[in-house]
């Protein structure tokens, strides 16, 4: 067994690669280059700085900022100190950000330059935060990350860390309107990254030392933090994009010779629709991995024509530490039935299709997708009931997605059992949008559904019942919601009706509102 395969934690992975890859580039970010040895030393300094700041093992720190090499130093430095990183979605509205920071009881909040003013405004609400630091300056009243880090020696603090300890806490949209912190352990990550390894690993899951990986998805998603961690594990060079910008993504292909990356379909569309896209040299690109939402067939065909590389569709969720199912390049054949599937389970991942009573269904019968593997999360932070609803005692995780398996084990996504909307790769639960809308003084009640959208996959639509004599406009309601929730959650359209359809027990029949928009489609999700 190699040293990297012997690593029992992600902290050990950094130590191993610091020696094995030494002067090779670990991360490149806006002109700043860190070798694997640099990264190992800097994460030691971060760990020591956290300890010196009084942060105890198992406490949380939070990061509100865009993608940066400093974030990954914080993430892995926290791991070396036994501390848990909770990155915050910077696209959220102020009240949502404050909720997450307070929910995880962050001892220190690290803030990127774009969010200094926002945090100044939010500071009175952040009662658990003992200290605020900036990652790139911009606030003289707070410490600067690099100066704070560099006060410490580079020796490893050697804090005991267990494989079952939580490595990161990623927040997902909540069914009840509040985000939930999914706790992912070192074991979860290493189980995922080692799935499908070995001599019989498919080409797309093999990494070479010359690979250059682009971290383009936001770090508050598993597709950002997880993808960056995968690159470290494999000793690949990681090029970090501060945020997704299709023009700059093309620059990275031209200047950094990207060989692997992960993107959501909406991002892929923005890139290929750039006029320059047909002029860029993509010859170094080996594999494009994509997922988080289904991709329209026409868009996939266009991407295959332009990028001219192997395409791999991935299916997973935050709660499974990312990918559990993959559709390899050889199944990306126009007209092939499997092209409509999400692919087959990775080695070590079990799939089952369950009926309402939890019984397994035979091939081609639609039910809820359940999965079991070493990458299933530890649970939701301080939410035992929500954890129990998602994870059973045998570690089977209910995804909330509806689908079926064919005779060869290929998984087909049909619909969602949970009332969730995926727009541009972001998960949105109707409850949190409805809650924001119903705070409007003129609104009696509201229901939110996802409707087909060519650009984003799905778009948020609100169906609203007004109070008698009240007459707020659709624009009024959208503006009101935008002040309380993230812009991507805000309804794109609003319809008004006299009363919402309900069943005998009073539950809103969202399906009745949603179905007309999906009529004639072969699946009920985009």
Which two structure tokens, joined as six digits, stand for 4?
């990297």
Token code pair at residue 188:
């979860």
Helix (H, G, I), strand (E, B) or coil at 192: helix
Domains, the chain, in order of start with CATH, read 35-185 (3.40.50.980), 421-518 (3.30.300.30)
**pTM to 2 decimal places:** 0.87
Q: Which residues of 222-243 are buried (b: 16+ CB within 10 A; e: fewer)?
A: bbbbbbbbbbbbbbbbbbbbbe
Report d(CA 329, CA 234) in Å as an integer: 21
- DSSP-based three-state secondary structure for 379: strand
Are residues 285 and 254 in contact, defined by beta-carbon separation less than 8 angstroms? Answer: no
What radius of gyration, in Å, describes the C-alpha atoms of the chain? Answer: 23
Pairwise CA distance, residues 396 & 488, whole Å: 31
Q: What's the Cα-to-Cα distance from 8 to each of 169, 185, 321, rounded to whole Å?
A: 19, 11, 17
pLDDT values of the chain reduced to their tens digit, one per residue, 526 residues:
588 988 999 999 999 999 999 999 999 999 999 999 999 999 999 999 999 999 999 999 999 999 999 999 999 999 999 999 999 999 999 999 999 999 999 999 999 999 999 999 999 999 999 999 999 998 999 999 999 999 999 999 999 999 999 999 999 976 666 899 999 999 999 998 887 665 567 888 889 989 999 999 999 999 999 999 999 999 999 999 999 999 999 999 999 999 999 998 888 989 999 999 999 999 999 999 998 766 777 788 899 999 999 999 999 999 999 999 999 999 988 778 888 889 999 999 999 999 988 999 999 998 999 999 999 999 999 999 999 999 999 999 999 888 899 999 999 988 777 777 888 878 887 878 887 898 898 888 888 888 988 888 889 999 998 888 888 899 999 999 998 888 999 999 999 988 888 776 566 778 888 888 888 776 666 5
CA 20/CA 274 separation, integer angstroms: 39
Which residues are registered as beta bridge partners of 169? 183
Contact status, residue 309 vs residue 287, Cβ threshold 8 Å: yes
Reduced to 3 states (helix: H, G, I; strand: E, B; else coil), residue 14 is helix
Q: Which residues pair with 262 in a beta bridge?
A: 289
Of 20, 26, 30, 24, whose CA–CA distance to 39 is shortest? 26
Enter the tokens of residue 191. Answer: 């189980």
CB-based contact 135:70 (threshold 8 Å): yes
Q: Which residues contact 359 (CB under 8 A, 6 or more apart)?
A: none
Give the strand order in the sheet containing 457-466: 443-453, 457-466, 493-496
Q: Which residues pair with 352 in a beta bridge?
A: 370
CA distance 18 to 28: 16
Q: CB-based contacts of 176: which residues, under 8 Å, 6+ apart? A: 429, 431, 432
Q: How far apart are CA 129 and CA 523, in angstroms?
A: 45
Rounded CA-CA distance 209/317 in Å is 28
How many CA atoms are closer than 13 Å to the CA of 300, on its beta-carbon side? 20
Interacting residues of 92 by C-beta distance below 8 A, sequence separation 6+:
100, 485, 486
């Amino acid at each position: 067994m190699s040293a990297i395969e012997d690593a029992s934690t992600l902290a050990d992975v950094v130590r191993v690669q610091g020696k094995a890859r030494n002067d090779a580039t670990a991360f490149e970010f806006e002109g700043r280059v860190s070798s694997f040895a640099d990264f190992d030393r800097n994460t030691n300094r971060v760990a020591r700085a956290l300890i010196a700041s009084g942060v105890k093992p198992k406490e949380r720190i939070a990061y509100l900022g865009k993608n940066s090499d400093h974030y990954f130093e914080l993430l892995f430095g926290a791991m070396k100190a036994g501390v848990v990183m909770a990155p915050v979605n910077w696209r959220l509205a102020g009240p949502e950000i404050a909720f997450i920071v307070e929910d995880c009881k962050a001892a220190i909040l690290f803030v990127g330059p774009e969010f200094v003013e926002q945090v100044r405004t939010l500071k009175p609400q952040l009662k658990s935060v003992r200290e605020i630091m900036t990652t790139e300056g911009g606030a003289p009243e707070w410490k600067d990350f690099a100066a704070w880090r560099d006060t410490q020696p580079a020796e490893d603090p050697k804090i005991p860390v267990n494989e079952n300890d939580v490595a990161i806490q990623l927040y997902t949209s909540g069914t009840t309107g509040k985000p939930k912190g999914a706790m992912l352990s070192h074991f979860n990550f290493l189980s995922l990254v080692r799935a499908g390894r070995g001599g019989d690993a498919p080409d797309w899951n093999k990494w070479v030392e010359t690979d250059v990986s682009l971290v383009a998805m936001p770090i508050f998603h598993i597709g950002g933090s997880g993808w960056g961690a995968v690159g470290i594990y494999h000793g690949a060079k990681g090029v970090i994009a501060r945020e997704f910008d299709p023009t700059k993504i093309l620059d990275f292909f031209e200047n950094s010779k990207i060989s692997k990356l992960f993107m959501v379909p909406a991002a892929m569309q923005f890139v290929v629709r750039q006029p320059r896209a047909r002029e860029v040299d993509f010859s170094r690109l080996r594999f494009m991995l994509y997922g988080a939402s289904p991709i329209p067939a026409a868009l996939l065909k266009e991407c295959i024509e332009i990028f001219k590389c192997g395409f791999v569709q991935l299916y997973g969720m935050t709660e499974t530490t990312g990918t559990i199912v993959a559709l390899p390049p050889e199944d990306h054949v126009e007209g092939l039935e499997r092209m409509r599937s999400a692919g087959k389970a990775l080695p070590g991942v079990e799939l089952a299709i369950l009926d309402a009573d939890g019984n397994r269904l035979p091939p081609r019968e639609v039910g809820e997708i359940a999965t079991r593997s070493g990458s299933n999360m530890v649970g939701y932070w301080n939410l035992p009931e929500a954890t129990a609803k998602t994870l059973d005692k045998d570690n089977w995780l209910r995804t909330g997605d509806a689908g079926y398996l064919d005779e060869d084990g290929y998984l087909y996504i049909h619909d969602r059992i949970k009332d969730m909307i995926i727009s541009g790769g972001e998960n949105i639960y109707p409850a949190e949008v409805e809650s924001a809308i119903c705070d409007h003084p003129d609104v009696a009640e509201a229901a939110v559904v996802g409707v087909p959208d060519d650009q984003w996959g799905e778009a948020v639509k609100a169906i609203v019942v007004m109070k008698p004599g009240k007459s707020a406009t659709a624009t009024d309601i959208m503006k009101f919601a935008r002040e309380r929730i993230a812009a991507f959650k805000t309804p794109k359209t609003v319809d008004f009706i006299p009363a919402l359809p309900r069943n005998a027990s009073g539950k809103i029949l969202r399906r009745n509102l949603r179905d007309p928009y999906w009529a004639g489609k072969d699946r009920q999700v985009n």
